[in-house]
Chain A
Amino acid sequence: MSFAKSKFKHKSLPVNDLGLTYREYEGAISTLCAGCGHDSISAAIVHACHELSIAPHSIAKMSGIGCSSKAPNYFLRNAHGFNSVHGRMPSVTTGANLANKELTYLAMSGDGDSASIGLGQFAHVVRRQLNMVYMVANNGVYGLTKGQLAATSDKGVKNKIGDLSLFNDIDLCTMALQLGASFVARCFSGDKAQLVPIIKAAIAHQGFAFIDIISPCVTFNNHVGSTRSYDYVQEHVTTGAVTDFVPIREEITSAIPEGDFEDICLHDGSIMRFHKLDPDYDTSNRLKAMNDVEEHKQRGEILTGLLYLDPTARNYHELNDTSDMPLNQVKQDLLCPGERVLGTINDSFR
């Protein structure tokens, strides 16, 4: 690219607790198509991280291969990123997380990356309860290879060149629920008001957080007949509650909203607040969540919002009883048992 983002910082830009404006949470200029849903996700991540006052360098951006996986380059330039191997982001993130449990792992994957080539790794990272935010930018199409059907394409739809999707789609939210993810949400990249608080809550959640983000592909999957186009999604999207996120440091009393709401306290003390649109909305019932997703789908609707949350779930390091100090910082004197011990070990083989 021959152009660059302006580094000019307007004095009126709001700063967060770290004294940083949102500009310091941005990344390189996007090379995705103009209007790509993924750019909206990047923008939501920028806002979520800025508003949460997370130091950008304490985040690790993980991805696989595909349009979605290029996206981490377009946010958080002061965070390390790892654009790894197609479908293998979950294992790389697992290793990175084992090595340093103090970083925040923001992972970006796509429908090909997670529902096809990486379905196995997706399933197993959910089971492992890795403390990470796993986002799928789901556009139901292969973008980088120009428009092939994806495993998340709805059965019966046609892609831009007219190929018919013959097989059942894979619903990653239902899978994540079945496999024991402790935070499962579905969002629409076009609904920033919903996406930003859910990303914030996913970051605050100290366990495996999965967000399937319907993110239309303007180039290959925005045609009439597509069930992932902007128009179609906008017309068919529905949610059980309007979600707010209240970080730990803020006085909850300062923002008493009107109407009926329910609070859920996360592990770190921050609050998720739901203004119910559906009186039966319940994020604590995993089976109901799976059922709700399916029922809406049968009605031709896309259910979005937080689907399930277990704020008490134990993550991998709690289950493994890993030392408090990140493993990549443990020094040789604690790692190497030394000469004397080796002498005893040698004796056991004589």
Chain B
Amino acid sequence: MRNSSAEHNNMENSIINDFVVKFANTNGTGSASANNMFAKAIMRMGIPVSAKNIFPSNIQGAPTWYEVRINEHNFLGRRGGKTEIIVAMNAQSFVADIEDVADGGYLLYDSSKQIPEHLIKKGIHYLGIPISTICLKEFQNPRQRQLFKNVIYVGALAALLNIEFNVLKTLISDQFKGKEKLITPNIYALELGYRYANRHFSCPLTYNVERRDLIGNRIMVDGNTGCGLGAVYGGATVVGWYPITPSTSVIEKFASYCQRLRIDPATGKKNFAIVQAEDELAAIGMAIGGGWNGARAFTATSGPGVSLMAEFLGLSYFAEIPVVLVNIQRAGPSTGMPTRTQQSDVLACAYASHGDTKHVLLFPESPCECFELTALAFDLSDRLQTAVIVMSDLDLGMNDHLSAPFIWNDKQKYDLGKVLSIRELDNIESYGRYRDIDGDGICYRTLPGTHPNKGAYFTRGTSRNQDAVYSEQSADYVHNMQRLEAKFATAANIVPKPEICSGFKNTQLGLVYYGSTAQAMLETKQLLQEQGIPVDLMRIKAFPFGNEVKKFIEQHQYIYVVEQNRDAQMRTLLSSELNLDPLKLAPILCFDGLSITATQICDDIMTDIDSRTENLTESQEVV
């Protein structure tokens, strides 16, 4: 086969630092660390980069893709469209992968076996490297023969895309710190690919990278690491959990940081307790038991786990027990698409459980915020004596993102809320668990074991009076429910305020978004500006909505609510909670399981504007 790219000089029409590279692999072949090294090399060259792992709900043998977007304008959401460079290592997806290459793009593949003629498509360049043959010749160990295939294509890409070889060498050394024996063969494999590409193709390709200094102090990390570490910093000690994709790594990260940072220096014992529960019911039950007893306790779950936890969330609301739940949303309903992303638990979480219930939700946009909001969730939950749910998602949680660094200030002190000490109990005349002394709906609680004969009460999910005594009196019940409502109003004032970007003086258009949709926003703004559509932006960070949210919506005539679910759940929540006319809120939705793109948002907004203009014109004609 002919390598057409070898025949012309690529430098003239070079496209620098703005393209997508997609790796098509088979899961279970060790490609993840090589692909990750590729993305990290781009970052270490000072160029903004994002990486998305599109993986199956399977352990071995199914197709998986790793999509790396390189963009020096920091447009780091998923770009969509066809791909400039595909590394096609999976025979199962080979045909589809060829279809996915953009015109003028490149397909790097293992040419150890010749590919049939009918798969040669015009308009794209084929870069064949006999990767398996090279591995067979160079390595004896079967495991190495498999693993180094991945390293070889990364080496080849270094030559093809102009990646500094030293950057990759340093990454290898960093990765195998402590296992130095592995450094030399890995670098050798890199060189094999690098040399082959240089010898057989005209390097670099049209698409290539150039060193920049655009990273600043940013880090590249996944959101679940942020949540796990945020829980360590937030002081969580008690964890009940049940493994479920994509939330599992929240607890795994928490556990590994605890092993490192939470062993008591004096005794060598653990300042934490993590129990893998029998199911999600038990997982949140444990967290609630811990919260009731005054420890900072949490659990993490996804999809079906949220449904199972609903009953206990109702108990947390009604019996007023602090607990933190980290929900890494995935595509539902039911088992849905367990390895695809969505923001489709907004309503299920806001109103989880039977009866009139409402829960505090926090919406992180980045790994840095996953850290910050998870730590904050413990303060809010102790302060408000209720469940606080951190609403991340699969894309934010499991993919590596370029993010501001994790931030902690040593002056920050945990807010443990209204908990009476033995001395405070001694100093009060009488105690009632549900008396609203301060008028903010938040009452004083006591912990078991505090005082020999004052402050004990019976915690229950049944109706009770202000002194925690069982009551079926309508007046007691109504009073309590209204106080819980007042407490929720207090919550609206203390949860994080929205982030508002209203650069346009005269625009009447507002765009509302939340969570991981944020990564598409910088690009969306740019695309809309290019179309001459000025839009003010508001990123919602929490539910209940504070005044700022209401004000932003009131100040604009027409609002787009951008979200990643089918039913426009945030739009429903906004219109019902703020008593807004739903017609004022136009939904922009993506629910295909892949993260939303700026192009789609912009196209949908343009379509909406066009149709509204048409309608306006038609109605005018009728008049």
Contacts and interface: CB of A to CB of B under 8 A. Distances in A.
B410 A96 contact: no
Nearest to B239: A98
A55 B450 CA distance: 11
Nearest to B375: A336
B233 A337 contact: yes
A341 B451 contact: no
B273 A320 contact: yes
A321 B234 CA distance: 22
A170 interface: no
A85 B297 contact: no
Interface of B: 43-44, 217-221, 225, 229, 232-235, 237-238, 240, 261-262, 264, 267-273, 275, 277-279, 281-297, 311-312, 315, 405-410, 413-414, 446-453, 456-462, 470
A90 B240 CA distance: 12
Given A88-B282, A334-B264, A339-B408, A96 B237 contact: no
Interface stretch (A74-82, A190-198, A263-271, A301-309): A74-82
B295 A91 contact: no
Interface in A1-48: 24
A345 interface: yes
Contact of A102 (B262, B407, B410, B449): B449
A80 B413 contact: no
Interface residues of A, number: 59
Interface in A254-272: none
A323 B449 contact: no
Contacts of A77: 456
Contacts of A337: 232-233, 261-262
Nearest to A123: B278
Interface string A63-96: 0000000001100011111111100101111111
B462 A103 contact: no
A231 B217 CA distance: 78
A317 B238 CA distance: 12
Contacts of B240: 91, 94-95
A91 B269 CA distance: 23
21 contacts: A56-B456, A60-B448, A83-B462, A85-B312, A85-B315, A91-B240, A92-B288, A94-B285, A95-B285, A95-B292, A98-B286, A99-B297, A121-B285, A321-B269, A332-B414, A336-B414, A337-B232, A337-B262, A339-B410, A346-B405, A346-B406
A330 interface: yes
B275 A94 contact: yes
B277 A124 contact: yes
A91 B294 contact: no
Contact of B285 (A61, A73, A91, A320): A91
Contacts, number: 224
A148 B476 CA distance: 32
Contacts of A85: 285, 311-312, 315, 461
B75 to A, nearest CB: 21
A341 B289 contact: no
B456 A88 contact: no
A335 B287 contact: no
B270 A80 contact: no
A336 B235 contact: yes
A338 B408 contact: yes
A328 interface: yes
Contacts of B470: 73
B178 to A, nearest CB: 13
B457 A93 contact: no
A60 B293 contact: yes
A227 B400 CA distance: 63
B219 A322 contact: no
Contacts of B413: 332
Contacts of B297: 95, 98-99
B456 A96 contact: no
A98 B238 contact: yes
Contact of B408 (A95, A334, A342): A342
B282 A327 contact: no
Interface in A306-325: 317, 320-324
Contacts of B311: 85, 88
B450 A57 contact: yes
Nearest to B286: A95
Counting chain A CB atoms within 10 Å of each CB, which of B273, B409, B447, B453 scores highest? B273
A79 B275 contact: no
Nearest to A336: B233
Contacts of B459: 80-84
Contacts of B292: 82, 92, 95-96, 99
A99 to B, nearest CB: 3
A98 B235 contact: no
B318 to A, nearest CB: 11
Contacts of A102: 449
Contacts of B462: 83
A162 B414 CA distance: 59
Contact of A328 (B237, B283, B408): B237
Contacts of B456: 56-57, 77-81
A219 interface: no
Nearest to A130: B275
B71 to A, nearest CB: 19
B146 to A, nearest CB: 27
Contacts of B234: 336
Contacts of A323: 264, 267, 269-271
The 9 closest A-B pairs by CB, nearest first: A95-B289, A91-B285, A99-B295, A95-B286, A80-B448, A349-B219, A99-B293, A91-B282, A92-B289
Contacts of B277: 91, 124
B449 A103 contact: yes
Contact of B290 (A96, A335, A341, A342): A96
A128 interface: yes
Contacts of B233: 336-337, 342
Contact of A93 (B264, B287, B289, B460): B289
B276 to A, nearest CB: 10
A124 B456 CA distance: 29
Contacts of B267: 323-324
Nearest to A342: B408
Contacts of B261: 337, 341
B28 to A, nearest CB: 25
Given A98-B286, A99-B238, A328 B294 contact: yes
